[in-house]
Structure formats: C-alpha cells, structure tokens
Amino acid sequence: MKIFKDKHILQKEILKTKGTSFVPTMGGLHKGHISLIKQSKKSKFKTLVSIFVNPKQFNNKSDFRSYPRNTKKDIKLLKKLKIDYLYIPKFKDIYGFRPKNKVFLDKSSKKLCGKFRKGHFEGVLNVVNRFIEIIKPKYIFLGKKDYQQLYLIKKHIEKRKIKSKIIECKTIRENNGIACSSRNSNLSKSQMKIASNIFYYLKNLKKKIKKNYSLFKINRIKKDLINLGADKIDYLENFNTKDFKKIKKPNKKYSLFFAYYIKKVRLIDNI
C-alpha cells in the first residue's frame, strides 16, 4: 500500500495504471467501509481509499471537532486489506485549486438531511467534485446508508457528464441491527441499546405500513421514539428511492428514512 499526501505525486502514480476504483471515506473505519473496499478490490482497477474529514460539510464546529478520528488504526487496517493506494490530503491539497466543473446541486438536496444540516450537501458535493477531478476514478464505491448523499452525487455526475461510474453498496449493520457508522464509537453501551431498539421498532413499523399505510402517523411514531430514548428527531419520512420524492402510498421502491439524536450523537439510516 502506497500512502500519498500530495495530489501531484498521487496523480503521477495513477497515470501509470489503467484507472482506479475509488472509496472516499472520512476515516474511523468500520465494517461498512471494509465492505466497500472489498467490493472495490474485486474490480479490475487499483483500489484507492481516501481519508479526509471534510470541514466544509459540517454545519457545526463542535460536531467537526468530535468526529471520530483514528488514522493510525485505519492505516493498519487498510494495509491488512491490501489496498493499492491511500490518499490522506491536507485541506490545501483539496481546496487550493479551482475545479473545472461547477457543483450541480439537485433540488432534492433541500430535503431530509439538507433541511436540517444547512450547507451539508453543498460541502459534500464540493469535496467529491474535487476528488473526482484529482483522481478521475473509473468507479466510485458509495454506501446506501447515506442514500441521499449517494443520490445527489449520482445527479451531479449525470449532469456534468463525468465518466466515473457509481457503484451502490448495501448497508452493513452491527449484530444489534444498527447501521455501522463512525459516529457509533461516540455511543455508550446503553445508548447503543437505545439505537438498536429504535431500529427494530422502525423495521417492524415498515412491515406494518406496507400493509396498512394509515398506520404511518408521524407524530405518534416520534413520541414512541422519544419514549424509546431518542432525544430529538430530525425527520422520519418514506421516500421513493428512484426520484427521491415523498410517497403517498407504499410502492416497491421506497425506504423509510430517519435521522435522530441520542444526546449529541446524530444517527441516520434508511430501511
């Protein structure tokens, strides 16, 4: 595994190859990231993982500061996984140039997380656009856990006619049901239990509303989540996964999207 901190040196190296399969991350690696990396390794291209905690996608400074970082441990893990390249840029390497493509922000960026984290998706698209220009990856592996992010990146790529192909990867979960997330490391054992109870409650709810949609009473459900130990709920919505619009009745392609807090930790998922 070769480690790069400078985009020019990285670019020189990847120019020699047929192309790269890119797995962008913010570090704090877990089973979800590992699954993306393993899928990337099955492609015919070299696997390039990045670790960059992008300050521009945090709408809150203390959230940025408390975001879990463990680069030493991450490097050890990536070596074991035998990836080809690791890119750990500094802020200036990413933001010290003017990208050719303007970011395209689909109007669905104003929904769900976009409504509650002002500027978040602008920050995500900004950094992804820059990574794409630096790396020009053949494939980009993204997790469905962050489905709205994946959807918006796909829209940007389509609109700007970028040649990279997005590979959608399924959500990996802990044994207790909750989606693996770097943020889980900020939860205590009892808070993990709350998250797990909430996951099973919502999973069960989804089954019920498939049969009888009138059971989807948001205020009632929010109250139940508070009783289960959530401290604040940002949203709880059923969205069609193809056009990212709220559904009126259940059809085949919808997911239940939710975001809530346990104390200061914000958790998002979709089932």
Write out the catalytic residue numbers: 33
Q: Does 32 bind ligand AMP (CB under 6 A)?
A: yes
Q: Does 25 bind ligand AMP (CB under 6 A)?
A: yes
Q: How far apart are CA 207 and CA 226, in angstroms?
A: 21
Q: Does 111 bind ligand AMP (CB under 6 A)?
A: no
Burial class of residue 255 (count of CB atoms within 10 Å of its CB; 0-12, 13-18, 19+): middle
Of 150 and 209, the one with the shorter C-beta distance to ligand AMP is 150
Of 7 and 145, the one with the shorter C-beta distance to ligand AMP is 145
Bridge partners (DSSP) of residue 86 are: 3, 49
Quote the tokens at residue 228.
């289960």
Least separation in angstroms between CB 179 and ligand AMP: 4
Q: Does 134 bind ligand AMP (CB under 6 A)?
A: no
Helix H or strand E encompassing 85:
strand 85-87
Of 122 and 224, the one with the shorter C-beta distance to ligand AMP is 122
Burial class of residue 207 (count of CB atoms within 10 Å of its CB; 0-12, 13-18, 19+): exposed
Interface mask (CB under 6 A) for ligand AMP, residues 167-186, using x and -? --x-xx------xxxx----
Least separation in angstroms between CB 3 and ligand AMP: 18
Helix H or strand E encompassing 240:
strand 232-240
Per CB under 6 A, which region of 67-75, 88-96, 164-172, 193-201 contacts ligand AMP? 164-172
Which residue's entry shows tokens 């200061």? 264
Query: 165 to each of 4, 66, 132, 135, 168, how far by Cα in Å?
Result: 23, 32, 11, 13, 10
Q: How many residues bind ligand AMP (CB under 6 A)?
A: 17
Least separation in angstroms between CB 146 and ligand AMP: 4
Q: What type of residue sits at position 61?
A: K
Q: 232-240 and 20-25 as β-strands: parallel, antiparallel, unpaired?
A: unpaired
Q: Does 128 bind ligand AMP (CB under 6 A)?
A: no
Helix (H, G, I), strand (E, B) or coil at 268: strand
Contacts of 175 (CB under 8 A, 6+ apart): none
Least separation in angstroms between CB 177 and ligand AMP: 11
- Sole binder of ligand AMP in the list 10, 14, 36, 112 (CB under 6 A): 36
Least separation in angstroms between CB 147 and ligand AMP: 8
Q: What type of residue sits at position 35?
A: S
Of 89 and 143, the one with the shorter C-beta distance to ligand AMP is 143
The CB-nearest residue to ligand AMP is 143
Residues that bind ligand AMP (CB under 6 A): 25-26, 32-33, 35-36, 142-143, 145-146, 169, 171-172, 179-182
